[in-house]
Structure 1
Amino acid sequence: MSAPPEPLLEHAVRYVKERHWEVLPGTWLEFTGGVPRCSCGANDCDAPGAHPARSDWTPLATGSTSTVRRLWTAEPRAAILLPAGRTFDILEVPETAGCLALARMERMGTTLGPVSGTPTGRMMFFVLAGGAAKTPALLRQLGWSPASMDLAARGEGAYVAAPPTRIGPRGSAQWVREPTTVNRWLPDAEELMPILAYACAQDRRERG
């Protein structure tokens, strides 16, 4: 018999204690007649149960375990959101391109940080803070047009839903490469960009 899943509270506390990441409680899913809906109430919500509850959310992120316990005790269903631009930035690519890039990086022995995936088919590569701002120039140096690449860089003012936050009806965010003591030190965006850009271009060609 499998153990019951850990409460989101315990995951949020670990992100703060073990990774020194700030966390933010977000919206959550409510079920009406078995149909999941975002607690924000919007019928057209594009990230049901996985976005900030307020537009002015940036000052509300916390790195205090006592505050985390208080917030998630008040609403245990709240999404765990990780603000980018503080201790990390995010390079987001399609899942197929991410898997191709990840396999190549592992063969080459590339230093990697945590990597997460979403049920909507996206992969998030964690890199050093500041990487998002450098991404357009890095892509141009490699001969790619930033506007033509399905590669999004998330930095200051952005966030990512942390596993095991549920995102809409399809499922939860999951770790592809979990945060560990081994990958505590994050790579710079320019270390991953050549492989990620190439994988995105390959994925685009295959899709036609």
Structure 2
Amino acid sequence: MEEPIGVTEAARIPRQRSEQLLEAAAWYAQERHWDVFPGTWLVAAGGTECCSCGDAGCAAPGAHPTRPDWAGQATGSAAAARRMWARQPGSSVLLPAGRTFDALDVPEAAGFLALARMERMGLTLGPVTRTPDRRMLFFVLPGAAAKAPELVRRLGWDAGRIGLTGSGEGCYVAAPPTRVAGRGAVQWARRPSRADLWLPDAEELISPLAYACARETADARTRLS
């Protein structure tokens, strides 16, 4: 692995983007009571963007922790968040899962199908993100990631086979407006609001999510046959 790029390289990041990341981190801590911590950032190199970690083969350029003890680095203080992002301008905004939320992770096509169905059903929903890797993450109460595979099994499917995974304790998720080099930005498919301060439990969403994932998996196999 190459040597990490110095923090001073962050000066190459557009000021507007750096300010957006700082304000987003502070807002998540203050308004949502989510812990946040700064990850790597994107730097210009030869006309392209690369990860501050210096690894040319980085799997998530500009969107992963900078140190192994990232969980202890996370803060729920907006003031502390502002200080951290001021020291590391342009850092990605990462949220540790398993504390105030878990995330149920599904393919994007299945996520949109499930989201539309759940809204028609009037189900309680939390925030939902779209990632540059064409995935959607549904924020739910902590503990969901651990029990999701069994809940899906009871419905007659295998969670791994239909592409439904979970992020819980020991995991983290990238929050908007974090960008992944060459792929785009994490976005909100359903923005956080005062209406979803109380997150749903896994049991409330697992059926429409699993159904949509199974349907998308079957459709994909049909297209390939």
TM-score by length of 1: 0.95
Q: What residue in structure 1 maps to residue 108 of structure 2? A: 95
* Structure 1 segments (4+ residues) deviating >4 Å: none
Question: Match of 1:123?
Answer: 136
Counterpart-to-counterpart distance in 2, 1:125 and 1:65: 24
Query: For 1:90, what is the secondary structure of its paired residue?
Result: strand
Deviation (angstroms), 1:56: 2.0
Mapped partners of 2:149, 2:46: distance in 1? 45
Residue 108 of structure 1, aligned match among 96, 121, 135? 121
Tell me what 1:139 maps to.
152
Identity %: 59
**Structure 1 portions without partners, runs of 5+:** none
1:13 to 13, 26, 34: 26
What is the rounded CA distance, in whole Å, between the counterparts of 1:145 and 1:119 in structure 2? 25
The structure in which a higher percent of residues are helix is: 2
Per-residue deviation, 1:77 = 0.6
Does residue 73 of structure 1 match 2:109? no
Q: Are the counterparts in 1 of residues 159 and 165 from structure 2 also a CA contact under 8 Å?
A: no
Give, in whole Å, the separation in 2 of the partners of 1:73 and 1:131.
Answer: 34
Taking the aligned partners of 1:121 and 1:147, their CA distance within structure 2 comes to: 17
Residue pair 2:35, 2:74 contacting (<8 A) in 1 also: yes
What is the alpha-carbon distance in structure 1 between the residues aligned to residue 167 and residue 65 of structure 2? Answer: 15
- The CA RMSD measured in Å over matched residues stands at 1.1
Question: Larger deviation: 141-150 or 11-20?
Answer: 141-150
After TM superposition, give the deviation of residue 7 of structure 1 in Å.
2.3
1:7 counterpart SS class:
helix
Query: Within the alignment, does 1:85 sit opposite 2:85 as a pair?
Result: no
CA distance, structure 1, for counterparts of residue 162 and residue 61 of structure 2: 26
Deviates more, 1:37-46 or 1:86-95: 37-46
Rounded to whole Å, the distance in 2 between the matches of 1:109 and 1:168 is 37
Tell me the amino acid that sits aligned with residue 162 of structure 1: A
- What CA distance in whole angstroms lies between the structure 2 residues aligned with 1:66 and 1:185? 24
Counterpart position of 2:37: 24
Q: Deviations over 1:114-160 (max 9, x none)?
A: 00001210100000011111111101111112331201110001011
Give the secondary structure class of the aligned counterpart of 2:196.
Answer: coil
Q: Which runs of 5+ in 2 are unaligned?
A: 1-15
